[in-house]
Amino acid sequence: MKNASYTWITIKYQDKLFDVRLSNSKAIEEIRTVDSEINIAPILHEKTIHSLQSIAYKQKFKLEELAMQYKDLRQINVSQHIEKKNGLSYLSWSWALDQLLQLDDSATWEYLEPKRFGESMMVFCKVTAFGKSRTAQLPVMDFRNQAIPNPNAYQVNTAMQRCLAKAISLHGIGLYIYAGEDLPVTTEVVA
């Protein structure tokens, strides 16, 4: 059996966000609300599916024209925007978000429900940009990168903003920070 190629697109329709899986034959294979793994295409009216398909392909075409590739995004030098605390490097979430929105003004982000692990907590952030959704997770940590037992609202908010920067980095902007590097990897050959 030949492997089919698919593209996932997040679109807005009637003030709701949907993840739509498109095939190369321009057919909708699957439709989900962004917070669900359940395919709702079988229960939608044909006119609604046609509208979603039209929106998805217009957005896909726009993204293909304008979108930068991961290999391009990962080469953005963020060194001047790194904050150092206790020997650890952090990318300013506000700078990362500004860069993301300059490159894709239709980018969205969403904080998912935090999860408790005993007394500690893990936060999650989903960033949709360049036609792709990526989700990062981050424990609520102190200045030593240790999980904080029973974190307060300020500590959770701090972790959420750091998680936003991490989710943005999954698209390529500043990802090298999490590998402990100081400069982005380039593909240029030095003679």
Q: Which helix (H) or strand (E) holds 12?
A: strand 6-13
Query: How is 27-42 classified by DSSP, letter by letter?
Result: -EEEEEETT-----GG
Spell out a b/e string for 37-55, using b for 16 or more CB atoms within 10 Å of the CB, else e.
eeeeeeeeeeeebeebbeb
Q: Which two tokens stand for residue 61?
A: 């075409």
pLDDT at 186: 56
Reply yes or no on whether the pLDDT at 141 is more than 90. Answer: yes
Report CA Rg, the chain.
Answer: 19
Question: Which pLDDT does position 2 carry in this prediction?
Answer: 45
Helices (H) and strands (E) in the chain, counts: 4, 8
Q: What is the DSSP string of 104-152?
A: -TT-EEEEEEEEEETTEEEEEEEEEETTEEEEEEEE-B-TTS-BPSS--
Q: What is the pLDDT of residues 42-67, one digit of tens each?
A: 888 888 888 888 888 777 766 665 55
User: Span 151-177, mean pLDDT?
Assistant: 94
In this prediction, residues 128-134 reach a mean pLDDT of: 89
Residue 117 has pLDDT above 90, yes or no: yes
Region 131-150: what's the mean pLDDT? 92
47 phi-psi bin (left φ>0, alpha ψ -120 to 50, beta other): alpha
- What domains appear along the chain, each with residue ranges and CATH number? 6-66 (no CATH), 71-179 (3.30.160)
pTM score, whole prediction: 0.62
Of 179, 177, 185, 170, nearest to 82 by C-alpha is 177
Provide the pLDDT for residue 1. Answer: 38
